[in-house]
Structures are given as C-alpha cells and as structure tokens.
Structure 1
Amino acid sequence: MDVELRHLRAFTAVAESRSFTGASRRLLITQPALTRTIQQLEQILDTKLLERTSRSVELTDVGRTFHARAQTLLRDLDLTIAEARGERELRIGFSWALPDPWAGEVLAAFEETTGAATRLMRRDDLAAALERRDVDVAFARHPVTAANSTSVTLFEEPRVAAVSSRSPLAGRKQISWNELGQYPVIINTTSGNTRPGLWSLERRPSQIVECDTYDEWIALIAADRGVGATPLSASSTHAHAGVVFIALSGAPLVPLDLVWIPRRAGGLVRRFVDVATAQV
C-alpha cells in the first residue's frame, strides 16, 4: 500500500492537536478509524511516528521530521488546488469584536503565506452563514451548530463585567462573578457567550433581559437595564461612552473557536486553520 492523502491529513491532525480526540473531531471521523489510519501509515513506513499514552500523544524523532515534511507537502498541494479552482479570497465570519492585535496578525500571516486575500464578514448567526456558504470559516465565542461543522478552540480569554456608567458599580475596580449574578443580566441569545447556566444553580440570576445582537446588548447596558459580561479583548476594541468595563473574579473563561464545514473546505480553509492554530 502507498501513502495516501488521508494518511497524511490524519497524521498532521494528530501531530498538531496532540490528541486523537481533538484530531478525530477536527476530521469528523471516529477515533477507532483515526487510530487505524495512523497504524496503516506507520506500517507502510515501517517506523513509529507517535508515542501514545493514556494521557498524551508525542511525536517520535522520526515523527517530528515527517510532520514538517508532510506539512510542507499538504500546504503546497492545498494552494495548488485552490489556484486551480480560482480561489483567491477567504471569507471569514465573526459576530462582533475580534481579539486585537491577534486577529490582524493571523490574517496577515495567512495572506503572506498563501497570496490569497481575506474578507471579514460580520454575521450574527454564524451557523446560518456557514450553511448558506456566506462565509468559508468563522471565529465564534459561542456554540455554533452548523450542520456537519467542526471546530477547534484556539484559546480562552478572561471575562470582564460591563455596566452602565450611571450604575453604582461603575466606580468599582473589581466585582465577583457571583455578585454580578445578583443584578439583572443582559443576555445576547444569538451570538453572546454568557448564559445563566454558567452560574451555579443556587447563584443563577433571577432576572434575565434577552436581546439578539451585540449592538442591542451594549445599548441596553448603557441604558442601565442590566449588567453583562464579555471577553477582555472586547472591552478595548468595542468601547462605548456609556459603558464601563470592570475586572471579574471567579468568572469562567471565554473560548474563541474556529468553525468550518470540512466537506466544503478547500485548500484555503485548511491553510487558514493551520495558520490560526499556529498563532496561539
């Protein structure tokens, strides 16, 4: 048997995530199928590429060298295919503030290594945007349930509280997560990352004010209709004259996920996933 693309993609996914669980989720295949594919590759090459324990996956010396070569091969192949298909632009969906300067660095690195352009497209409903093919890939801070999609968590951010500048809380330097839940909480149900279930059952907010977009969310907070919580990066990129951001203690972190639909993913999407994961 010769080495096939499926072997190389399976191996690089495991090598990059250092996890069979993460790699199988990324490739949308079962862990047993992924394990068999890696075993086939090692049998074909007659060498061990990975050292797997119950807790971790590490590359052997041969595996590290093979991984570097496989990455180069797959990158060149993906770009060749993208060029043949006329793919010159990657459409990247997002719902609201992106971490700065990290997001800009990722886009610049992608454009430099591929020669393709990127276009940021704001969409409140990222699942619908992916399914309609409005966007090719999306940054999300909330669960995105597009059909047949997969995702990878890039990193997690601390939360800060958002309160009206007219609120008695505005002068505070810090507030606890549980204390925040004692006030009416503004929840962006479409693209927000704060949900009542993030508080323990006995500490859940008794009053929830729902809205559909980030713009509505921050306007309601400015009007002192309630308080909210948002990632730290949003406090600098989306400042509002009527809103004060305050450090939160004991708050759950906010994941930033990269979401795409593998069966539709062309070479540019795969390259973007590689670049974004390498920048964390």
Structure 2
Amino acid sequence: MSIELRHFRCFLAIADTLNITRAAARLHLTQPAVSRTLRQLEQGLGVRLVDRSTHHLALTPDGVAFRDRAALAVTAFDRALAHPHDTTWPLRLGHAWSAAGARTPALLRRWHEEYPETPLELLRIDDRTAGLARGDVDAALLRGEVRTPGLRTAQLTTEPRVAGLPADDPLARRRTLTLTDLADRTLALNTVSGTTTLDLWPPEARPAATLPIGNTDDWIATITAGRAIGVTTSATPGMHPHPALTYIPLTDAPPVPVLLAWREGPGHPRIPDLVRLAREVMGSPAADTHTPDAPGADYRRSS
C-alpha cells in the first residue's frame, strides 16, 4: 500500500486532538475509517506513531518526531496549490513574541524598499520555532537556544534580560534588579516559546514557585494581575508596553541571543537576502551554524 497525503492529514488530526472521535469529526470521517487510515500509515512507515488504549491516547517518540515532518509536507502541498496563477511568492517570517524588537519597523520598511516584488509577511505563532519546523513560515526570528533538528540559524544580536513586575510592586521603583531580588517570588514561565527557566538561578536561590503560561498575552495578564513576576528580554518593553506593567533591567542575568532561523534544504529563494538585511538592521555579522552545534540601556518602563 502506498502512503498518500490523506494519511498525513489523518495523523495530524489525531496528533492535534489526541482523540480518535474528535479527529474523525474534524476530518468528516467515521471513527473506524480514522483508525484504519492510521494503521495503514503505521504499517507503511514500519513504526508505531500512536500509543492507544481504552482510556489513553498519546504520540510515541516516533510519532512526535514524525508530526513536524508530516505537517511540513502537508503545508508545502497546500501552499503549492493555493495560488497557482499568482506570480508573487510572499516570504513568511514567523516570531513567537517581539519579532525584531524596536527594529521591527526598520526591518519591514527596508525589505519593502529593497524587495517590493516579494511581500514580507510577519506572523506571530505561539510555538517553540514560531511555526518554522511545521512549515507554517519560511523563516523565523527566535530567541534563546534552538535545538530543533533540520534548522539553520544566523545569530543577529543579543538582548539583555529585564524583569517584568506589576507597576505597583515595591520592586518596580528600583532602577535595576538582580536575580536574587526575585528569588522569593512566583515566576510566570512561558513554557511554549519563552527563554526563561529555573536554571537561570542557582539551585539554592530559585524563585519560590512557578506559574506556567503559554504565550506572551497570558504572561502579561498574569503579571499585571499581581499573580507573578516574569523575566524577558529588552525587546519586550517596546513591543508589549502595558500601563500596569513595569520592566526593570537585570544586572546579573546573561543576555539572550536573537537568531534568524530557516530550514535546511530547498526553501524560499529570498532567504539569503533576508539574512543579509536582518544582520544589517539588527547589527551582528555572526556566521550561520547548524543548530545542534549552536551554543545595558535603561529599559525601565511603565507606560
């Protein structure tokens, strides 16, 4: 039996819902048809993708690894058919939060001036690779370490870290803070696309508790509600100001690398131009690397 695109779509529906009934409803198929299609895919690949029992369904390690490859194939197929008569090929640039920071307008304007025939579409996608690994974008602006196989990166710059505090917090009156100043607080952690983990602190001086959240909007809402404090980079104050949120520079936290990432192999022909322009705008001529080997101003704001 040959593997077809319908097998990929079926698996992705199961991977997204982790439920055969909901996957069947999404695909407008019967549950037996979905189960049968999944079995055919697993037999064709020679691996088990889904661990399923009466009360449990989860992706196997092979299923997790295959999910991004399947999504990439489906996205490429759909995109090829979407605009068959359109001579333009937009360049989709993903980001999970803050894009290029304060330099975002300059990057977009420079691109439009130099490459008006190729629209640059900036897309926020709450994902570790901002949709790049799944094929939702052609390139992505990412922060922190990128370990996803199959990606290449160019480091553009680094950004100092800042603390995010409720504007009425006593620490919000300070001009600078240290990580130790935050050790007795609850820390809001963006577990989907954030760059902050408890490893930022020494084991004996870590925040008292953590509050996992999934995106920048929830991170801001959690802090402004007084439920937690946060740590982010200097790009966030300019891109996400809030009247109830104050950003204070951290003097002893290591800076965060800002990377432009793209997939290995064939891709959008304008990616080399984007790398060059992003380096010019954001200021670092660092050499690009394979990701598996990849290793202050006053930002106080309560606007």
Match of 2:140 among 138, 152, 155: 138
Number of equivalent positions: 196
Taking the aligned partners of 1:91 and 1:145, their CA distance within structure 2 comes to 21
Unmatched runs of 5 consecutive residues or more in structure 2? 1-85, 284-303
Corresponding residue of 1:179: 181
Distance 1:208 1:100, change over 3 A: closer
Q: Give the counterpart letter for 1:102 in structure 2.
A: R
CA positional deviation for 1:257: 1.0
CA positional deviation for 1:221: 0.6
Corresponding residue of 1:196: 198
Aligned-partner SS, 1:129: coil
Say whether the 8 Å CA contact 1:163–1:245 is kept in structure 2.
yes
Over residues 184-221 of structure 1, what are the superposed CA-to-partner deviations in whole Å (9 max), with x where a residue is unaligned?
A: 11110111111111122222223111111111111111
In terms of fraction of residues, the more helix-rich structure is: 1
CA positional deviation for 1:93: 0.3
CA positional deviation for 1:230: 1.4
Unmatched runs of 5 consecutive residues or more in structure 1? 1-84
Say whether the 8 Å CA contact 1:137–1:260 is kept in structure 2.
yes
Taking the aligned partners of 2:106 and 2:121, their CA distance within structure 1 comes to 14
Corresponding residue of 1:76: none
Taking the aligned partners of 2:102 and 2:187, their CA distance within structure 1 comes to 29
CA positional deviation for 1:144: 3.9
Q: Give the counterpart letter for 1:104 in structure 2.
A: P
Corresponding residue of 1:30: none
Aligned-partner SS, 1:271: helix
Corresponding residue of 1:262: 264
Aligned-partner SS, 1:127: coil
Taking the aligned partners of 2:218 and 2:159, their CA distance within structure 1 comes to 22
Corresponding residue of 1:164: 166
Give 1:239-250 correspondences, 5 Å limit.
239-250=241-252
Aligned-partner SS, 1:187: strand
Taking the aligned partners of 1:89 and 1:126, their CA distance within structure 2 comes to 22
CA positional deviation for 1:128: 6.8
Aligned-partner SS, 2:184: coil
Taking the aligned partners of 1:91 and 1:143, their CA distance within structure 2 comes to 21
CA positional deviation for 1:236: 2.2
Q: Percent same amino acid among aligned pairs?
A: 31
Q: Give the counterpart letter for 2:185 in structure 1.
A: Y
Corresponding residue of 2:106: 105
Taking the aligned partners of 1:248 and 1:196, their CA distance within structure 2 comes to 15
Distance 1:128 1:165, change over 3 A: closer
Aligned-partner SS, 2:131: helix
CA positional deviation for 1:104: 2.2
Aligned-partner SS, 2:265: helix
TM-score using structure 2 length:
0.60
Q: Give the counterpart letter for 2:171 in structure 1.
A: L
Q: Give the counterpart letter for 1:212 in structure 2.
A: G
Distance 1:150 1:181, change over 3 A: farther
Distance 1:231 1:89, change over 3 A: same
Distance 1:175 1:212, change over 3 A: same
Aligned-partner SS, 1:263: coil
Corresponding residue of 1:273: 275
Distance 1:243 1:180, change over 3 A: same
Taking the aligned partners of 1:172 and 1:118, their CA distance within structure 2 comes to 40
Taking the aligned partners of 2:130 and 2:103, their CA distance within structure 1 comes to 26
Corresponding residue of 1:89: 90
Runs of 4+ in 1 over 4 A off after TM superposition: none
Say whether the 8 Å CA contact 2:93–2:122 is kept in structure 1.
yes
Taking the aligned partners of 2:114 and 2:242, their CA distance within structure 1 comes to 36
